[in-house]
Chains A and B, each alone.
Chain A
Amino acid sequence: MPLPADPRPSRRFDSILRPTPDGLWCPGGAFFIDPPRPVDRAVITHGHADHARAGHGAVLATPETLAIMGERYGHDFAGHAQPLAYGERVMVGDVELSLAPAGHVLGSAQATVRQNGLSITASGDYKRRRDPTCAPFEPVPSDVFITEATFGLPVFRHPPDSHEIARLLRSVQQFPERAHLVGAYALGKAQRVIRLLREAGYDETIYVHGALERLNRLYEHFGVMLGPLAPATGSKADFAGRIIIAPPSALADRWSRRFPDPVTAFASGWMSVRARARQRGVELPLVLSDHADWDELTETLTQLSPQEVWITHGRDDALRRWAELNGLKARALHLVGYEDEDDD
């Protein structure tokens, strides 16, 4: 099949924002976005550890993200912390900066940089579907849209959340003598799973691994109410028919032996592929992701129709192919250092 002519992106936006080994660099504002190593000035899109590191001179982020960083790294995580609420605009050096909700986790933001009448939006990690634990993604019309591509293959089409939660609840009903142990990343995914269970009418106590407790409290502080929670300590018999949420690394850990014949579940976008579930010994895969799936990625690009699409990390090969087929200029930035919390 003949390909459309290669729509090679230009470098005319590089004076505003450009990829470097230390992350996205904004010369006009003298800051990096989500730098993987400590720098003088950083704008942080969200609190996941690979985007939000400790030790920067100055950090600008949403109040929620700053609170998450403070909880994880202690209150001296940076020399100076500047909160910026969604929708406010601030001058940083020669550029104007604003943050808009990204719908990824609590406090997650897209950062838009404007200079000389041109605008670039770095979306960080994002998703488009509703999430009861954070503000929904807001499309920001820009000349350049910088996207992730974690699930940038057309096989990734996350089913409706309600479908996955119903599968979990059905299994709890079907195996009342077993514990249901749900692996979920500690920041964002865990609270979302709990909220979704509450929305589905599950009002029993949910047991949580110790690593989730502080973040759960923080979410509640920001108004995301999680209902009755308790630490996952007790004897085997206490956990029959119960739901326990733990970080994914705890599923195969000795920690999990306290539960009666657990049904191992894992909430992650990768779980739609059976081999991935099998590899991790997951019996009940729950396809719940905080990243945009293929349809969300392509619909976002179609909706925004920017002059150029830049792809930070993930399956840039397939997403670039799609962009080519759809007449969009796309460029892979090959930014390193971003892991995928879904894969933990």
Chain B
Amino acid sequence: MRAFAALLDRLSLTASRNAKLRLIRDHLADTPDPDRGWALAALTGALTFTAAKPAMIRRAVEARVDPELFRLSYDYVGDLAETVALIWPARHGANREPDLSEVIDALTQAKRGEVQGLLEGWLDALDADGRWALLKLVTGGLRVGVSARLAWQAAADFGGVEVPDIQEVWHAQSPPYADLLAWLDGRAERPSADAHGRFRPVMLAQPIDEAEMERLDPAAYAAEWKWDGIRVQAVSEGGVKRLYSRTGEDISPTFPDVLAALIHEGVIDGELLVLREGQVGSFGDLQQRLNRKTADARVMAAHPAGIRAYDLLASDGVDLRKLTFAERRARLEVLIVSLASDRIDLSPIQPFDTWDALAALRAAPPEGDPQAAEGLMLKRLDSVYEAGRPKGPWFKWKKDPHLVDAVLMYAQRGHGKRSSFYSDFTFGVWTGDVDGSHALTPVGKAYFGFTDEELKQLDKFVRDNTVERFGPVRSVKASREFGLVLEVAFEGLQRSKRHKSGVAMRFPRISRIRWDKPAKEADELATLEGMLDRAERGS
């Protein structure tokens, strides 16, 4: 438990991806089985405990600590698990410190009434870091900024293999992953991937632009719209039905409506979208369904999800990934027609002869769904399905980003390499009142898009023009007469209740610093609202 606690402690304050990978990799190298496997399970979200509720933890601590002292402490710390971890009165020599695997075994087998006693015994035996890790684990939210994908990458680094090698077998293994880790140690063969319902590592596309396309033969490629949803893999094999994200996270519980439509025998690759009578909803529409553990009937009715299919990886027990795209596509079309489902439709192929013709299509998509697309996909007709992002067979050709001129309002210090730089920038656009006065309203935050040299200039501007400081954040001088204009590029806009401006940007980044442009000539919120209205009419 001590090593796991130390790992979580470090991860919780580490921002850099590479540093996180190192911490997890070293943990897998230094910690014996089965604890390292349980740690991997915890980090990938494969463990869920529901027996321990916050109220139970609160009762336990209030029985041991004066309630007034507890209240003062909780007010100060602000987080229940952390307050309890710090305040829990130690009982020296009370118990031996438990291993992570002991905790997990005991919790898995415990009857409801036994959980509180177990927890108290462990809290007595652990130090503050150990208590914090225990409470995070049993209340089911580690929240240390590690995705399943990142944990797999660390495991791949540790074993000297590629992430798809791990993803391919992952869902056929179960915690604490003894066989998988033995393979990564180099002590055993790669374990079997042969399980119904498993995830197949996905094939990704490289970005491309017009100049590069000139070198390609248009006759060798098929084109289709790049849909603005999330990539999913829908598996239905031998009665096992699963919906995976493109990183292999099992999102089935969030989409029971989609799962129910999986009546085929095989593996479909496609885009998860909101589908209403064959029309796709906006990404904002889909977001109402994402990041929920489960879906209730009301939300499902308001935002019905479905799949726009574009590939078929397996069918009737046969792996199709070695076939060409053209062959897989032909089988996919037959399958989708036979399903006749309103939850699963086909992403149509867009015929074209020349790259110029395709460019014209991309610049002026026809009425309907294509207007909501992010651009076009190009897939070589003779390409096999290859995990990862191979160069050549698949390309994504995105629409040009939207641009807006905004004014820098706040800057926040970065992390790691950037900890001495103000590198996260919040920017705003003008809102006008009837009386002619103008104010800035924040519309987004960007922390990339600039060069190291530009970062130095931005940092200097922030330091020289600070108005106020709030912890790591500074507000900078920004008025009609004086302010720094940033040209911000972004992929799309959504309505947002959480933002004062009512809009939220997708992938905003700073495309140019407009040192030359007067602040009062930056864009107005009405410009963004207009974009939003046009986008919504289009779809």
Contact = CB atoms under 8 A, between A and B. Distances in A.
Interface string A262-303: 111000000011110111111111000000000000000000
Interface stretch (B36-44, B69-77, B274-282): B69-77
A261 interface: yes
A155 B417 contact: no
Interface in B478-535: none
B13 A284 contact: yes
Nearest to B472: A281
B72 A283 contact: no
Interface string A145-175: 0000000011111010000000100010011
Contact of B128 (A159, A257, A263, A325): A159
9 contacts: A153-B72, A155-B86, A155-B87, A175-B22, A257-B421, A272-B86, A321-B66, A321-B68, A321-B72
A318 B22 contact: no
B128 A1 contact: no
Contact of B77 (A264, A275, A283): A275
Contacts of B19: 175, 263, 283
A321 B77 CA distance: 18
Given A274-B13, A277-B13, A279-B471, A155 B76 contact: yes
Contacts of A209: none
A157 B86 CA distance: 7
A281 B86 contact: no
Given A252-B413, A274-B13, A277-B13, A157 B82 contact: no
The residue in B6, B65, B86 that gathers the most chain A C-beta atoms within 10 A of its C-beta is B86
B419 A159 contact: no
Contacts of B128: 157, 159, 272
A190 interface: no
Interface string B142-186: 000000000000000000000000000000000000000000000
A262 B419 contact: yes
B26 interface: yes
Interface in A192-239: none
Contacts of B26: 174
Interface string B58-92: 00000001111110110011110011001100100
Contacts, number: 98
Nearest to A259: B420
A318 B73 contact: yes
Interface of B: 6, 10, 12-16, 19, 22-23, 26, 65-70, 72-73, 76-79, 82-83, 86-87, 90, 127-128, 413-417, 419-421, 471-472
B12 A274 contact: yes
B76 A251 contact: no
A281 B128 CA distance: 21
The residue in A174, A264, A274, A284 that gathers the most chain B C-beta atoms within 10 A of its C-beta is A274
B82 A274 contact: yes
Contacts of B127: 159
Given A155-B77, A273-B77, A256 B22 contact: no
B78 A275 contact: yes
Contacts of A317: 72
Contacts of B69: 153-154, 318, 321-322
A342 B469 CA distance: 20
A88 interface: no
Contacts of B6: 167
A263 B87 CA distance: 28
A256 B10 CA distance: 21
Given A154-B87, A174-B22, A262-B419, A281 B413 contact: yes
A318 B65 CA distance: 12
Given A272-B86, A322-B69, 14 more contacts: A153-B69, A154-B69, A155-B76, A157-B128, A175-B22, A256-B419, A256-B420, A257-B421, A262-B416, A273-B82, A283-B415, A285-B13, A321-B69, A322-B66
B83 A155 contact: yes
Contacts of A155: 73, 76-77, 83, 86-87
Nearest to A272: B86
Nearest to B83: A155
A254 interface: yes
B152 to A, nearest CB: 21
B472 A283 contact: no
A273 B13 CA distance: 12
Contact of A254 (B22, B78, B415, B420): B420
Contacts of B87: 154-155
A72 interface: no
Contacts of B12: 274
Contacts of A278: 13
Given A256-B420, A321-B68, A322-B69, A156 B86 contact: yes
